[in-house]
């Protein structure tokens, strides 16, 4: 092809590409900078940051960031002392720090639903690295109370579960109901109060559909583990065979660090 024609075509492609960018603007789901349409959904810098976050090792049992040397078949140095922890394993994308935190906040508080599709992809990658993925019969999202739902732009956990289901071809089972509208866990810094806040606020919706099934609880975040613990109690009571959890992030709250040896004596593992 003559050089003049080739460069004209390149210029035309660039022009059309630029027009497409103007007509269909793409922004990075993490930092919001403009990006070419074919690079979506993240800019290259955020993509690198997320890849680094996902390489950080974490405990297979509780999802906390942990050095491999501190982990064994009973978990890590932290969860081995937690008698209440009763899920068989956790899959997570990363710790609750940027850029993962920006994606969660955007979805949860600003209603950015496209974050859910992207986080679903990242969670699916994390689950594919877990040996228990093939056991799963259903994904069970942590439910939002209907009054809370009216205050939020979206049910972020339901969106995450739907995105994950699409990636993994595993059905979503809305097997748990939130009966009590308790204050958000994010407003409570005490570990013991977080457990108290969610105690007894969930109930099984379709116990017969959970019975003898291996299920994976889906949530955006585990901090103390109080919510996952309560949901797993309900699922276990309904006859679930095995219970796992998949979250975007595992975080710690200050009191969680201080009270790492605290156990919850009235909630022993089954
Ligand atoms: Zn970015
Ligand atoms: Zn652990």
The CA 185 to ligand 1 mean position distance, Å, reads 29
Ligand approaching nearest to the C-alpha of 106? 1
pLDDT, residue 252, reads 72
Ligand approaching nearest to the C-alpha of 92? 2
Ligand approaching nearest to the C-alpha of 31? 1
The CA 75 to ligand 2 mean position distance, Å, reads 5
| Domain-embedded: residue 268 | no
Which residues contact residue 88 at a Cβ distance below 8 angstroms, ignoring those fewer than 6 apart?
A: 61, 132, 242, 243, 244
Q: Are residues 182 and 106 in the same domain?
A: yes
pLDDT tens column, 103-144: 999 998 888 888 999 999 999 999 999 999 999 999 999 998
CATH of the domain at 126: 3.40.50.2020
The CA 36 to ligand 2 mean position distance, Å, reads 40
Question: What total number of domains does the chain contain?
Answer: 2
Would you state the structure tokens that stand for residue 27, as one six-digit string?
């922004």
The CA 219 to ligand 1 mean position distance, Å, reads 24
The CA 72 to ligand 2 mean position distance, Å, reads 9
For β-strands 242-250 and 90-95, DSSP reports them as parallel
Residue 7 has pLDDT above 60, yes or no: no
For β-strands 202-204 and 138-141, DSSP reports them as unpaired
Which ranges of the chain does DSSP label H, i.e. alpha helix?
3-23, 44-55, 100-110, 113-128, 146-151, 156-168, 191-198, 207-210, 226-237, 254-258
Query: Distance (Å, rounded) from C-alpha 143 to C-alpha 140?
Result: 9
pLDDT, residue 196, reads 78
| Domain-embedded: residue 237 | yes
Peptide bond connecting 41 to the previous residue in cis, omega within 30 degrees of 0: yes
Ligand approaching nearest to the C-alpha of 42? 1
pTM for the full model? 0.83
The CA 43 to ligand 1 mean position distance, Å, reads 4
Ligand approaching nearest to the C-alpha of 47? 1
pLDDT tens column, 169-182: 999 999 899 887 77
Residue 266 has pLDDT above 70, yes or no: no
Residue with the larger pLDDT of the pair 1 and 229: 229
Written as one string, the DSSP assignment of 117-158 is HHHHHHHHHHHHTSTTGGG--EEEEPPPPHHHHHHSSS-HHH
pLDDT, residue 269, reads 30
| Domain-embedded: residue 46 | no
Q: Are residues 136 and 247 in the same domain?
A: yes
Q: Are residues 100 and 220 in the same domain?
A: yes
| Domain-embedded: residue 269 | no
Q: Are residues 82 and 169 in the same domain?
A: yes
Q: Contact at 8 Å (CB) between 51 and 100?
A: no
Query: Distance (Å, rounded) from C-alpha 61 to C-alpha 269?
Result: 14
Rg of the chain's alpha carbons, rounded to an integer? 21
Write out the residue range of the structural domain in which residue 201 sits.
57-258
Would you state the structure tokens that stand for residue 191, as one six-digit string?
């570990």
Residue 250 has pLDDT above 90, yes or no: yes
Token pair 């940051």: residue? 49
pLDDT tens column, 206-229: 889 999 999 999 999 998 889 999
DSSP code of residue 169: T
Q: Are residues 117 and 184 in the same domain?
A: yes
| Domain-embedded: residue 51 | no
| Domain-embedded: residue 145 | yes
Query: Distance (Å, rounded) from C-alpha 68 to C-alpha 126?
Result: 17
Query: Distance (Å, rounded) from C-alpha 102 to C-alpha 204?
Result: 32
Would you state the structure tokens that stand for residue 116, as one six-digit string?
């859910």
The CA 24 to ligand 1 mean position distance, Å, reads 17
**Residue 38: pLDDT band by 50, 70, 90 thresholds?**
confident
Q: Contact at 8 Å (CB) between 111 and 152?
A: yes
Q: Contact at 8 Å (CB) between 204 and 235?
A: yes
């Amino acid at each position: 092809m003559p050089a003049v024609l080739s460069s004209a075509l390149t210029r035309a492609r660039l022009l059309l590409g630029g027009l497409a960018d103007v007509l269909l603007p793409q922004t990075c789901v993490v930092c919001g900078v403009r990006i070419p349409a074919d690079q979506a959904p993240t800019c290259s810098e955020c993509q690198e940051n997320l890849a680094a976050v996902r390489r950080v090792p974490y405990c297979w049992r509780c999802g906390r960031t942990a050095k491999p040397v501190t982990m064994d078949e009973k978990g890590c140095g932290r969860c081995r002392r937690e008698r209440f922890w009763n899920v068989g394993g956790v899959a997570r994308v990363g710790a609750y720090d940027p850029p993962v935190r920006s994606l969660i906040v955007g979805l949860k508080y600003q209603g950015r639903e496209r974050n859910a599709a992207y986080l679903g992809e990242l969670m699916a990658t994390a689950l594919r690295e877990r040996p228990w993925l093939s056991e799963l019969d259903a994904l069970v999202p942590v439910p939002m109370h209907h009054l809370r739902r009216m205050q939020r732009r979206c049910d972020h956990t339901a969106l995450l579960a739907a995105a994950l289901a699409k990636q993994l071809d595993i059905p979503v089972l809305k097997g748990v109901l939130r009966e009590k509208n308790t204050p958000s866990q994010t407003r409570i810094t005490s570990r013991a109060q977080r457990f108290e806040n969610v105690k007894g606020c969930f109930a099984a919706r379709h116990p017969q559909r959970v019975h003898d099934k291996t299920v994976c609880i889906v949530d955006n975040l585990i901090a103390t583990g109080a919510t996952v613990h309560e949901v797993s109690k309900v699922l276990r009571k309904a006859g679930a065979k095995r219970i796992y959890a998949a979250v975007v992030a595992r975080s710690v709250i200050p009191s969680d660090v201080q009270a790492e040896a605290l156990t919850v004596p009235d909630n022993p593992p089954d």
